[in-house]
Structure 1
Amino acid sequence: MEQAHTSFQVAAGRMLSVSNWHAYSGAGSAKFVLCNNQGEEVDVLAEEGFFISIDLPGPGPDAGDGVEWVLIEKLVSEGGAHTAEEYVLMTVRPAADPHKAAAEIAHFYTDESTSTFIVRRDGLVVSAGAHGRNETPNNEAVDLHDKIRNTAIALIARVGLSGGQWQKLVNGLIEFKETK
């Protein structure tokens, strides 16, 4: 049980180390940067109210000056070393670029969409997952370039091509081998 708890703690720490997600996901993945509520890059663990900028391969949205933005709206941790189950859960929601006064969502999904990341230990089993909800293309209050781009990326994601990005990330949260 102690080894499972230690493995859980390592994986949970990786999940909260957002700026390292690219390393955990491997080549060809998006680049994630944890930012404070002002949109400035920070080198700390994720917290509610912080932002994540996401630089997808290819052209980014005009609304975000080339990057997607999400807000960490929920961060929950339950359980411990001597409980049967423990987990850390983080829910993010598309957001406006925190550098800009405009309220235009800088993401290919609307702000009705959420993504939830979880690292969990159930007994001796440690697992990780990523779950999207209400994923709707952001093509209402954006310029023509972003309408076309956001609709195309949302359709690509809907047919399952974004699943590879999240699968690589959740596998990396559990299996990543540190190099010295």
Structure 2
Amino acid sequence: MGDNIAAPFLPAQYVGEATTTSESKDLMNEEAASAFFKTAVLRLADVNNWESLSGSMSSGFQLTDLAGKPVAGPAETGMYIRIDIPGPGTHAGKGFDWVKIEQKEHIMLNEHQEVFFIRARPSEHPIQKSAGIAHFLRKEASSSFVLVRNGTTVTAAVYGRNEVPNTQSTDLGDRIRNAVVGSTGAIGISKLQWKALVKGVLE
């Protein structure tokens, strides 16, 4: 049911892989579910804490401003997320993968249903844009981090859409690295990380 409620807020799938990773928690009543949803929203928006929520195998996540400088506080539309994936990083991203938060919304559908989501997309390094997309996936890809409250049930999910390895980089080393990291196997590994994250958000 959470997928059905979230569907209107997700990008259309038209190329590459589509992945969905979700976890749900049932509460005693709607009052408890509403309060828990608010707590889960704070956790999901605290991107700088995702690594500790996801466990020791996680990538590192750091919110930055438009100049690539680390910032504290919750995620906001227009911010960047600097991702430290285990293994070699990108030259385009100065050793990191980068995504930009293109939308953050909290929608009250009715008194029983609400949705919160953060959608991010592969981007250039904030101050090295001429080097191209600094991520192992192409710019068509998106990751939507979603919370849904449906009555007494709260669902956390990560929806990956249009996931295609970024082998169009101008840097040969980045093309090779992205082909490997962006393979189906690596997408499977990231699904394990997202599973740990959605569980952590709902603890």
Report if TM-score (shorter chain) is over 0.5.
yes
Residue equivalent to 2:142: 114
1:101, distance to aligned residue in structure 2 (A): 4.3
Quote the residue 1:153 is aligned against.
181
Within-5 A mapping of 1:6-17: 6-17=35-46
**Counterpart amino acid of residue 102 in structure 1:** S
- Counterparts of 1:38 and 1:113, CA distance in 2: 23
Q: What residue in structure 1 maps to residue 78 of structure 2?
A: 49
Question: Which residue of structure 2 lines up, in the alignment, with residue 127 of structure 1?
Answer: 155
Matches within 5 A, 1:10-89: 10-79=39-108, 83-89=111-117
Q: Which residue of 1 aligns with 2:26?
A: none
Cα distance between partner residues in 1 of 2:41 and 2:48 = 14
Q: Secondary structure at the match of 2:189?
A: coil
Aligned length: 173
Larger proportion of strand: 2
Pair 1:142 & 2:170 matched: yes
Given that 2:106 and 2:117 are in contact with CA atoms closer than 8 Å, whether structure 1 keeps it comes out as: yes
5+ unaligned residues in a row in structure 2: which ranges? 1-29
Residues 38-97 of structure 1: per-residue CA shift (max 9 Å, x gap): 2111111111100000001111111111110000001111118x8101111111000000
What's the % identity of the aligned pairs?
Answer: 40
SS in 2 for 1:10: helix
SS of the equivalent of 1:89 reads strand
Q: CA deviation at 1:99?
A: 2.4
Gaps of 5+ in 1: 176-180
Q: Indicate the SS of the match to 1:12.
A: helix
Q: CA deviation at 1:119?
A: 1.0
Determine the C-alpha separation between the residues in 2 that align with 1:114 and 1:151.
Answer: 17
Report the Cα offset of residue 103 of structure 1: 4.8
Instruction: State the one-letter code of the partner of 2:119.
Output: T
Q: Secondary structure at the match of 1:161?
A: helix
Which letter does structure 1 place at the counterpart of 2:177? R
